[in-house]
Amino acid sequence: MKQYGETWASIILLIAAGFTGTLGFRLSIPVIAFLGRDVLQLSAFLVSFFYSGYMVSRALSSITLGYIVDRAPRVIYLVPLFTAVFALTIYCYVYADNWIIIVLLRMVQGFLGGCIWPLVQYLVAQISPQNLKGRILSVYFALGSTGILLGNVVYATIVDYPLNHKLAISTSFFLVAALFMLTAIYLTRQRIAYYRRRERGSRISFEHPVLNVVFSGFLLALCVAFAFGDIVYIYVSEVLSLTRSDTALLLAFCSGLSICCSYIISWFADKGYERETLALTYILVAASIPLISIGSIYILPLGLTLALISIRVFHPLSRRYIALHCSMPATGIGAVNMATNLGISLGLIVFSKTYDYLKNIRTIFLGLKINYAPYVLLIFAIPLIVLAIKLLTAKQLREQEMFSEELIIFKRLRRN
C-alpha cells in the first residue's frame, strides 16, 4: 500500500515538474525572441536558429540518453542535476550580446532538454498503471501545455521588467521543477530497475508500425513548426501588428483552447478510436497552414490553434503506443522526440527564410491579407493526408473482411 502511494506521489510530482519546467522555459522564449529581433535587429531567419539549434541538439541527446537508459536505468538519477544546470543556463542570456552566443546557449539547453524530458516521459509511462497510461500521459502533456499558456501570460505581465529580472523568474521556475524531479525519483527508486528487452543484443531495432509513428511525427512537426519557438512571436506580432504583451496573450489564448480540444480528442483515442484520432491530427495540420497565412485577428489564431491541437494530440498518443508496443521503450520515445525535434528545426528554418523573402509580398482577397510564406509547408503536409486516407481506408477494409468472414461462417452453419 505504501509503495502504491509513493508511485502516485511520484507521478503527480513528475507531472508538476513538467508543468513548472515548461512554464519556466516558455517564459524565456519571448524574452529572447524580442531581444534578438528588436534589440539585436536580427532577421527572422537568424531568430529561427535560436529554437532550431535547441531542437537539433535536443534530438541528438534524447535518443542517445534513451538508448543508454534501456541498458542502465539508473542514469535517470541524473535528471534532477541536468534540470538544475538547465535552469542556470537560462540566466546566462543576460550576458548574450550577439546571436552566436544565444544559439550556443540554446544548443546547450537543447542537449540538457534531451536528457530531461524524454526520460521524464519514459518514467511516467513506466510507473503508471497499465490501464491508465494513456490518460496519465495526456494529463502530463496537457499540464505541460498549460505551462506554455501561463508562460505567455506571465510574460505579458512582466514585459516591462528589466532583462535580468525576467530571466531570474524563468530560472526560479525551472529550479522548482528540479526539486520536484529529485523527490519523485527518490520515491520511485525501487521501480527504477533494469528493463528486460524481448531480444538481447546492442542493435537498435524498431517494428514497422513504430517506424511509421516516428516518420509521421517528423512530418507533422515540420508542418506545424511555425507555431513553436521564437519565430511565432515575431510572425504573429508583425502580421497582426500587435504589441509584445498582446502577442503573448493571444498565443496564450490559442494554447488554452488547444489544450481543451486536444484532451477531448485524446479521450476518443482512449476509447479505441486510435486510427481515427491519428488521421484527424494529420487533417488538422493540413487545414492549419492556409489559415495562418491570413492576416486576420479572427482567422490566423484559428490556424495556430488547429496546429497546436494536432501536435498535442499526437504527443501522448505516440508515447502511449511506444510504451506499449516497442521492445525498447526509452529508445523509442527518444526516437519520436528526435524526429519531432528535427521536424520542428527544419520547418523553422524553411518557414523563417521564406518569410524573410516574402513578408512584404501579400495579396488582398475578399478584404483579407494573404501571406505566402506558410504555403511552403503545405508541400510537406501532402504525405500526411495520404497517411490519413490510408489509416481510414485500412480500418474500413478490415471491417469488410471481418464481415465477409462472419458471413461465410454463418452460411456454413446454416448448411450444417
Mean per-residue pLDDT of the chain: 82
Work out the pLDDT band at 58, boundaries 50, 70, 90: confident
Which whole number is the average pLDDT over 157-170? 92
d(CA 324, CA 105): 36
Which whole number is the average pLDDT over 352-381? 85
Which whole number is the average pLDDT over 121-149? 80
Q: Between 413 and 190, where is the model more confident?
A: 190
pLDDT digits (tens, 9 = 90+) for 238-260: 899 899 899 999 999 998 898 88
State the pLDDT at residue 168.
95
For 328, list phi and psi in degrees, rounded to 5.
-130, 80
Ordered structural domains, the chain, with CATH: 2-193+207-415 (1.20.1250.20)
State the pLDDT at residue 205.
47
